[in-house]
Structure 1
């Protein structure tokens, strides 16, 4: 992959917190920036996987991600209870079939694994769900729905804007020493600004996350994409990040309005002068 830093093609898992391990998607380039972050959540033998990204157009890298995850599960004698998807884009969903097939080949009872996301009728989503329908339980998620397994509790937060089916996931702490953690998918990235389809919905989602910062003062945020591989680029204080994101969007909106007003004034002057 020309022009790509090799470290993003073979990145090891990173222990982010006691409950969270980051598996890099090994899929840098293009809209994926330096690749996506996928998170294995929990402390027991049964874990929750948040996102399962593939490298579109590069089967070798997609298979490397699957192997990295499966090797870790095997080494630590773990299995999956859920795979939660933040949104339908291929770099967050595309490796679900590969992970399920590999687990099934190793003798895991994948029929008990719940693969869940917000309902969305897109072509490749329907194709993916068709492939996996006989290998697992599929589920459409509702806003504020609670997902639990033996050690972890997660709240589903509908946060459209980046795309219409986007979900963030709020991980509850296991003890008073831990913080709440929000997995932001592509709603909030480890970059100065994110991409969105609908600005109105996107701003509502940002304000929703901001309100969680007020409710949970020590809230941490785990990004769907980060600018580097180390822990400090994967997770950080949510309030400062979300405040910066909102300020950036408001500043750009103000710039657009100023340009439009200037254009309108020039138009009026031209009309008055008969130009």
Structure 2
């Protein structure tokens, strides 16, 4: 059973977590948003979903009680449960008059239907407020615009949806996602504060699990194709072989995951696709 996450948690003198109060299948207990810094002007990471009065009330209460203004709002990616509440947050009187909003640019984001100016984040850009310095790390894969924020003072990572507090995450591009995971592994963070779920105190082990989980499935695909070099397979045929222990009603979902793996292998020139069927690249040596 998932651990209960309080609505508001003072994780450390420089981090306050405010739960988005939007629980669901994809959001787990809800979206975690974080206020970072120790002074009057601080940084908010993500804004939760739109039209969630409970979240907005918690945020207002924290800003008032701690006498905080928001210098910056940093959005980890365009999904509605992370940016949807932006207009609501920016409407808080007296706390966002001089707030700058930032997000990594992408052509894939949906229309936000907002007149709020959003400035472009860049790789390695740093944001400093009293008690905290956040460095932007572009980590595409979950979405093309996904970033994590590296808190330099604590060697901590705010991971958005790249790493979750429980289970594994979904992705749009597995090739990019795996590169991003290795990028995070190289940072050797001391702790991870995820966009969903509880604090991760074994970050390297968790990142390595994400990598090995995906590589295990990839190995199965490569072994199947290598053992049948003269044959090409449709995605549904591969699913029946590779996911033979998975209930058939879940095969369509498994097919989507398989497709991501095959696209990654295609980018690495390990497989080829002909007539909507997949086979090992003749130039690839086992």
Residue by residue over 1:107-146, the C-alpha shift from the partner in whole angstroms, topping out at 9 and shown as x without a partner, is 34x3411110101345644423x2x23xxxx310001111
- Count matched residues: 231
Structure with the higher fraction of residues in helix conformation = 1
Q: Does 1:200 align with 2:175?
A: yes
Q: Superposition pairs for residues 20-35 of structure 1, below 5 Å?
A: 20-35=15-30
Q: Distance in 2 between matches of 1:149 and 1:21?
A: 15
State the match for 1:235 in structure 2: 200
* Structure-2 separation of matches of 1:249 and 1:76: 43
Structure 2 counterpart of 1:39 = 34
1:97-116 counterparts in 2 under 5 A? 97-102=87-92, 104=93, 107-108=94-95, 110-116=96-102
Q: Does 1:225 align with 2:196?
A: yes
Structure 2 partner of 1:146: 126
User: Structure 1 residues 267 and 96 mapped into 2: Cα distance closer, same or farther (>3 Å)?
Assistant: closer
Give the secondary-structure state (helix, strand or coil) at the position aligned to 1:84: strand
What SS does structure 1 have at the residue aligned with 2:163?
A: coil
Report the Cα offset of residue 34 of structure 1. 2.5
Structure 1 pair 85–267 and aligned structure 2 pair: CA distance change class (3 A) = closer
Distance in 2 between the 1:250 and 1:24 partners? 33
User: Does the C-alpha gap of structure 1 residues 64 and 250 become closer, same or farther in structure 2, counting only changes over 3 Å?
Assistant: same
Retained in 2: the 8 A contact 1:16–1:235?
no
Task: Write out per-residue CA displacement over residues 15-40 of structure 1, whole angstroms, 9 at most, x where no aligned residue.
Answer: 22221111111111132233111111
Alignment of 1:20-169 (within 5 A): 20-54=15-49, 59=51, 62-102=52-92, 104=93, 107-108=94-95, 110-122=96-108, 124-128=110-114, 130=115, 132-133=116-117, 138-169=118-149
Structure 1: tracts of 5 or more residues without a match: 174-178, 227-232, 269-275
Give yes or no for contact 1:193–1:248 (8 Å, CA) kept in 2.
no
Q: Is the 8 A contact 2:72 2:100 kept in 1?
A: yes
Tell me, yes or no, if the aligned pair for 1:144 and 1:157 is still in contact at 8 Å: yes
Superposition TM-score, scaled by structure 2 size:
0.74
Q: Deviations over 1:79-102 (max 9, x none)?
A: 111110000000000111101112
1:264 offset after TM fit, Å? 5.3
Distance (Å, rounded) in 1 between the aligned partners of 2:124 and 2:42:
20
**Bigger relative contact order, structure 1 or 2 (CA pairs below 8 A, ≥6 apart):** 1
**Cα deviation 1:221-273 (Å, max 9, x = unaligned):** 111111xxxxxx323232111111111111111122234445657889xxxxx
Call closer, same or farther: CA 1:125–1:144 in 2, change over 3 Å: farther
Instruction: State the superposition RMSD in angstroms.
Output: 2.3
Contact 1:158–1:167, Cα closer than 8 Å, also in 2 = yes
Report the TM-score, using the length of structure 1 for normalisation. 0.77
